[in-house]
Chain A
Amino acid sequence: MAERIIELRDIKKSYGQVYALGGVDLSVDRGEVVGLIGDNGAGKSTLIKILSGVVRPTSGDILVRGQPVTGWSAARSRDAGIETVFQDRALAVQQTIVRNIFMGRELTGFMGFLKVNKEIEEARRLMREIGFTSKVFTPHSIVGQLSGGERQGVAIARAIYKQAELIILDEPTTALSLTETAKVFHFVRQVRASGRSILFIGHNIHHVFDIADRFVVLDRGKVALTTDRSEVKSAEELINFMEDVAHPGGLPGLHDGGETEQRAR
């Protein structure tokens, strides 16, 4: 059996009286792509923030490679080999590409001074690795001057720098063009081929279906379904399942509406 990179046990998170997560179990094994899907407000973002250490759970256990961790934080998460590409990309737009790639992880030598040349060299290598090169910008370019896809490239380059064992991609294809989306997919396959893991979060179930080995459906702060890809025939089956979970007993016209739309096309 593959090594378990991270495991969440009975994670609860409440904001005041409101439960964002009401006891979630989730695990990611080495070399697998887990697709996390769920409606708006299902708790996906909270779950990601807990995994990346930005938010602390109200209760529950986090196990890294089978060992329970204490004092979980963003820095600890990164040390454990978990890198997150946040939905908003978490870039400092007035800084250069280099400074963003090495944010919070600056390459330093004597007395904390930056190894500037080493950083530029590494940035060049990373950008080339993911096919993110251009005549228009250099590692010294300001991120604010880049397009949405190019910014995503910077965020991804930052995530792969330390050979992370688990990369969390939060809605990585939102607001990207078709070629840029294809690039992200290509990247996900590359990562899996190299034996590392990905947690892929997406609104677009077709995207998630194409790429994941295993699906976790989140609904109102609970895991509604965990299933292997082999057990699901099509993306439609997943969509139908999610609709059933969201509206038990069926919502009149909902399935029907989808069909009408298809027929209209």
Chain B
Amino acid sequence: MSKAMEPDLQSPFSGSSGDTVGKEWRHPSDHWLRGFVIDNRASLGTLAVFIVMMAVFMIANPTVFTTWYLYSSVLTTLPVALFVVVPLVFVVTCGEIDLSFPATMGFASWVFALVVQAGYDPFLGIAAALVTGVLLGFLVGSLVVYGGLSSLIATLGMNFLLRGLIQIINEGRSMALTGLADSSAYKIFSSQVYGIPVQIFWAIAFVVLSAMLYNRHRFGAQVKVVGDNPDSAKQMGIDVKWVRVKVFVFVGIGAAIAGTFSVMINFTWWPTAGDGYLLPVLASVFVGGTPTWGGIGTVAGGAIGAVTVSFIQTGVVAAGLSGFYVQFFNGLIIILSLLGHKWNQARYR
């Protein structure tokens, strides 16, 4: 029987063309540039939004937007956001959300400040902050994953709980770290090279490493599969729960770095450290082109989204508009980006 059926069996999966067996597997219009644009359309769209926005700002106020000071100030604060935006792309891709990172930033930087204030080397403080970040990320992740809780609500609760703990213990007092400016850790992580804030180089390194983790590493591959179809991932032997916990730990690490950097910029730790980052960071992830439903996302897009969001505030004020316009433009950019991405990406089921 198989002999008789052989002709039909040559290419039943290949649709109309019957002569494809053994031939190279290539799209007819498989040009590298076309492939690049298709693969990166979300982040390229975000880049387009950013370029248009900057063009508008420059036309509105050419003198301010050609001065270096403006960019220098953005480049000092932007890295802090980048360290949490990127891990959040992983969390959202995994089908979860983490709203507890501001408190983790505050908590980890508090540990950093305590170690430095006690007279230890800031490098030790950074290590302690990282350990704190890992532990808090593990705590939050375990609560969500093994407790079977909604990550939206549970992480919001953890944010309040941890922040409350900081406030109770410190009773609102801040910590000034005057000795920090002379330390070698400060020179490495927070000084300036030829007028460029050195933080941005660390942030870029972090983004590049994370993008490789996302696109070229088993961790990123499993995060995407778990966010896409957790049942399949489980059937294929992936430890779905552990993958989910790991993305929360990654946010904890990012938040610890971000918190430490923010303290090193100001030489002061406030009990509210990190609080102001909640909404801009979340907006950056989605402006960057990572959809809300999980399974796909873009680290590069998230980074460009963070740049866009941090330029809005500076840009609106520098363009000569009053601070009252900042919120309006924040919202405008978010909505326009979402509309653009919706048109840009298809959701497969």
- Chain A: residues with CB nearer than 8 A to chain B? 52-54, 73-75, 77-78, 84, 86, 90-95, 99, 102-106, 108, 112-114, 116, 124, 127-128, 130-140, 142-145, 147, 149-150, 153, 158, 177, 179-180, 182-183, 186, 189
A110 CB → nearest B CB, Å: 10
Across the interface, do B221 and A127 meet the contact criterion of CB distance under 8 Å? no
Knowing A149-B12, A183-B12 are in contact, say whether A93-B229 is a contact too (CB < 8 A): yes
Q: Check if B9 is an interface residue, CB within 8 A of chain A.
A: yes
Q: Check if B217 is an interface residue, CB within 8 A of chain A.
A: yes
Cα–Cα, bound, A153→B21 (Å):
14
The residues of B that contact A149 with a CB separation of less than 8 Å are 12-13
Across the interface, do B212 and A113 meet the contact criterion of CB distance under 8 Å? yes
Docked complex: B20-49 residues within 8 A CB-CB of A:
20-23, 25-28, 30, 35, 39
B222 CB → nearest A CB, Å: 8
Can you add 19 more A-B contacts, CB < 8 Å, to A75-B239, A180-B12?
A54-B235, A73-B237, A74-B236, A90-B235, A92-B295, A94-B228, A94-B348, A99-B221, A103-B225, A112-B217, A113-B216, A134-B13, A135-B23, A135-B28, A136-B15, A138-B25, A149-B12, A180-B13, A182-B8
Kindly report which residue of chain B lies nearest to residue A158, judged by CB atoms.
B236
Knowing A94-B295, A180-B13 are in contact, say whether A186-B236 is a contact too (CB < 8 A): no
B69 CB → nearest A CB, Å: 40
Q: Check if B54 is an interface residue, CB within 8 A of chain A.
A: no
Across the interface, do B237 and A75 meet the contact criterion of CB distance under 8 Å? yes
Q: Check if B5 is an interface residue, CB within 8 A of chain A.
A: yes
Q: List 29 A-B contacts (CB under 8 A).
A: A74-B237, A84-B235, A86-B235, A90-B229, A90-B232, A90-B235, A92-B225, A92-B233, A93-B349, A94-B224, A94-B228, A94-B348, A95-B225, A95-B295, A99-B224, A112-B218, A114-B218, A116-B216, A131-B10, A133-B11, A133-B14, A135-B28, A136-B14, A136-B27, A139-B25, A144-B348, A179-B9, A179-B12, A182-B9
Kindly report which residue of chain B lies nearest to residue A90, judged by CB atoms.
B232
The residues of A that contact B322 with a CB separation of less than 8 Å are none
B314 CB → nearest A CB, Å: 36
Kindly report which residue of chain A lies nearest to residue B224, judged by CB atoms.
A95
Contact with A along B137-177 (1 / 0, CB 8 A): 00000000000000000000000000000000000000000
The residues of B that contact A137 with a CB separation of less than 8 Å are 27
Across the interface, do A131 and B13 meet the contact criterion of CB distance under 8 Å? yes
A44 CB → nearest B CB, Å: 16
The residues of A that contact B218 with a CB separation of less than 8 Å are 106, 108, 112-114
Across the interface, do B221 and A106 meet the contact criterion of CB distance under 8 Å? yes
Across the interface, do B232 and A91 meet the contact criterion of CB distance under 8 Å? yes
Q: Check if B238 is an interface residue, CB within 8 A of chain A.
A: yes
